[in-house]
Structure 1
Amino acid sequence: MDVSVDALTSFAVFAEHLNFTRAAEQLHISQPALHVKVRKLAESLGRPLYRRDGRRLVLTADGETVARFARAHDERLAHFLSEFSGAARTRPVVLAAGQGAYLYLLGDTIRTMSAGERTRLRLINCDHRQMLAAVRSGHAHVGVSVLDVLPDDLTAAPLATFPQVLLVPTGHRLARRRSVTMRDLAGESLVVPPSPRPQRILLEQGLRSAGADWTVAVEAEGWPLITHFVTLGVGLAIVNGCVPVPRGLTAKPVTDLPSVTYHVVHRPEATDDPRVTALLDAFPW
């Protein structure tokens, strides 16, 4: 196989963006030239490396493997050159996580890493599917998210577990309860994530199983906006127990919904890198 280092480097950048225009700009080459590099690499390997999913480009399983190898090769080369020249290793360790994890779990971790002089931290904000893809492809060293199914090919460890709670105004009829069930929400208007978010699917299944009729007050993306709408009196909302409860609201555990667990995931060999070890040690285990 005729596989060049230049082709691998170019593919690693493409795999990070999954957009030929942005990747070509970063590489300072034309978009057609990048197309040729990626096509020739796929032809040399005899495998398709990406596919089109609607308007998006996504890596195939082979593409994830090649991207992971390309980034690892690039990391090893950079490490060798830094040691050879006696310069400090400056490449950042990359963390991928969602809004909730960054807002409510990882603040101290980010402060600790940002205050360090030896290990720089780069952050990627994404959903759990994008996080897993980033870790698998080597785009991120470590990921944090709520996972319904633990990946077989990655190392996953629980970071923190929280109940699901109902946010209600203190004057609401349910505010006097110690806990609530999904059936108690019959007739209520709820602030919910958009379809087909996993939380929305879970709520709809739970309400359907409980035989509770309900209406959508508003669809909102992210816990801060959902919480804000509840404070405005738009409707009630079920959120993760790590979400701070604003003044004027109270949180009631929902007994027939499962707790949510945030997991830390990384490739098994990632802990060979001292930068990754430093990041893992900074997590609030």
Structure 2
Amino acid sequence: MDVATPRRTKEIIERHGFSFKKSLGQNFLIDPNILNKIVAAAGLDATKGALEIGPGIGALTQQLAREAGKVAAVEIDRRLIPILQEVLEADENVRIVHGDVLEIDLQALFKEQFGEVSGVSVVANLPYYVTTPILMKLLEERLPLENIVVMIQKEVAERMAANPGTKAYGSLSVAVQYYAVPELVCIVPHTVFIPQPNVDSAVIKLAMRDKPAVDVADEDFFFRTVQASFAQRRKTIHNNLSSWLGKDKREELTRILESTGIDPVRRGETLSLQEYASLTAALETHGLKG
């Protein structure tokens, strides 16, 4: 029987005496239609693998097991392991891993679990409180991923997919879009979870790029420049970068910005990824590295 119904979820929780931990951001999805949209967005088939983070009681895991050739589900809460083993007992293509995904060696996990599949996608309902650290680890480690399809807080999903010049566009938008092409799949109301969170969620698909969106010589400096440019959103990019690089560099910074075609009075949220790459290169050429 499918887990993703209110009746079945409550029955499993009560039978195992499970209590939700607020500190782990546990909210179980009880709408099979949303699960179908999540799995469909990942483009899985019998030749591909799926890494799930935070499977809970296995609602999404069941659907993944039907579509993918191999599924690895990483769960941090030891109390959920026996529940998952029971729910997924018949799914021989699922491996349950107890651990914290932020601490696990994902490169080793991929070699061990997905050595024989043609491609891997991350598919998960992520806890709100740890969404960004998990996603940045997945992106920065250059894992052999095709897609990342995750359900996260609606506001965060909108920031990841935002275009330059919009209110939602920020350093997170630049970081995600450097590695992937984001697409909002659907909005998920808070009413389809047990327990219900206080805000709505969204499913976002990040299609991984073969190479980063822009060429930069020093990725760390590129991202530090972006962060500095958004330090205070109401300030111009010139003022933000001056605070970062030093007030004595104001005149030189003005010349550098103008040489790259960036008006010093613009704000950080108006710059594209390519403009940030050009700016970073110009700063490096002039030896200005904060």
**TM exceeding 0.5:** no
- Computing the radius of gyration from Cα coordinates, the structure with the larger value is 1
Relative CO higher for 1 or 2, CA cutoff 8 Å, sep ≥ 6? 1
Question: What's the TM-score, normalizing by structure 2?
Answer: 0.28
Question: What's the TM-score, normalizing by structure 1?
Answer: 0.28
